Structure 1
């Protein structure tokens, strides 16, 4: 069942969104060769708790950390640990917060030093996909208009769109209905209405769209082990333009 949010609820979710945005800004200051992914996780958790929020991911279905830190061929759900970031890595960081019982969910991909040109282009196009998808999240459009716009842009640049991982509704729960695919045919799916709050999160690969899960049960990697990028915003559908809740 889809639960539409009141203006009051959306205002609370803006607080959660600002906190998760600010957390990633703080974490980004520390992303450099030589830092461990566990250290980034500690920085994020300390920041969230010191700003009167709760980590949204920690303990969720048993997940052990505040951040998902996914390096290079890791798409999402990389568990922070002793791994040291090195020059030339590409790292996607996904974070969730809870403020007054509501979630914010936000992800960005970062370069650790200098990257190959095709990796940089993948990062740029994936962020463009997010922005293009958000522009389709307007009242009266169909849900799959979002995914179609993302898919068209990504594949137009010869990248692939993951099929098995999607965006989602969000509110008092981290994952609510509806699912928000990053692909699809325009004009299909539910009509978008004001009060719908969703996380749009294109996950775009340099190579194949196929993925698999590692033995830790969480980390999802590309099957061909080529790199993947991930960007995400939490947005609210309004009577007018989409309202990005995680842009600070």
Structure 2
């Protein structure tokens, strides 16, 4: 049995602050995402905001898991067929691009990890639909979170919704426990069977961050050692929140003034008793 840490009330407070700051970086960068800006410029703006305004630091910068070269930037910018870990640089965004910005800040030793989709200029119907369904997938997964539920419940509802809409779920990357450590147990798979895997306990904190492809689920790694693309060049989308398990449901820790509201599809589920902290 893996050891999943149960956070103390003080640690939960620290995670609430880090989560809010992580979300506020995404609020801050939103007006800058438009045709003509480079992903490198968005990274620079995010990094400066963390350093100068928040007094937080970017967790990805120089992050180097075993077998990886240190990640060179403050955020991840994944455009169109990039699934995750796109490195900001000279790429100029154009109208119709679908962009995921993934932000993790460290504040007082705690990590706040979240990502959002941004549709640049006039998006295609496909990009808009894929982003919407992926957002619904994340929220359907979140709606399953409460003490006594299982990790498999989260993966199952995400996989079901994605595949029902003709999309596929990336298997190689998943959500993860988080706290003073960027990535810790458990792994939160975005596919699976209900009632399987670890049982959730109040005080666990982890991310739910489905990566959903418009085409097939197979991936390929780029020569930079970080960037992951869809093998068939199809569009990919991702949304991410950091979530606390409570006795009665969940609390989203990556909340800010600009956090998009839950999608209509989950509102009936949330009213059935999952306690959602405002």
Contact 2:119 2:127 in 1 (8 A): no
SS of match in other structure, 1:153: helix
Matches within 5 A, 1:91-106: 91-106=99-114
RMSD: 0.7
SS of match in other structure, 2:249: coil
Query: Hey, what does 1:3 align to over in structure 2?
Result: 5
Cα deviation for residue 3 of structure 1 reads 1.2
Note if 1:200 corresponds to 2:208.
Answer: yes
Note if 1:114 corresponds to 2:122.
Answer: yes
Query: Hey, what does 1:41 align to over in structure 2?
Result: 43
Note if 1:75 corresponds to 2:83.
Answer: yes
The 2-side partners of 1:170 and 1:45 are apart by: 21
Query: Hey, what does 1:14 align to over in structure 2?
Result: 16
Note if 1:219 corresponds to 2:222.
Answer: no
SS of match in other structure, 1:27: helix
The 2-side partners of 1:105 and 1:13 are apart by: 10
Give CA deviations for 1:104-146 in whole Å, capped at 9, x if unaligned.
1000111001122122110000001111100111111011100
Cα deviation for residue 241 of structure 1 reads 2.3
The 1-side partners of 2:143 and 2:25 are apart by: 25
Query: Hey, what does 1:142 align to over in structure 2?
Result: 150
SS of match in other structure, 2:119: strand
- Equivalent residue pairs, number: 248
Q: Which of the numbers 53, 59, 63 marks the counterpart of 1:60?
A: 63
* Structure 1, unpaired ranges of 5+: none
* Structure 2, unpaired ranges of 5+: 65-69, 257-278
SS of match in other structure, 1:168: strand
SS of match in other structure, 2:32: coil
SS of match in other structure, 2:207: strand
The 2-side partners of 1:227 and 1:114 are apart by: 16
Q: Which of the numbers 210, 221, 225 marks the counterpart of 2:218?
A: 210
Contact 2:35 2:93 in 1 (8 A): yes
Cα deviation for residue 203 of structure 1 reads 0.4
SS of match in other structure, 2:115: strand
Calculate the TM-score normalised by the size of structure 2.
Answer: 0.88
The 2-side partners of 1:139 and 1:2 are apart by: 13
Runs of 4 or more above 4 Å deviation: none
Contact 2:111 2:179 in 1 (8 A): yes
Note if 1:23 corresponds to 2:31.
Answer: no
Cα deviation for residue 49 of structure 1 reads 1.1
The 2-side partners of 1:9 and 1:240 are apart by: 19
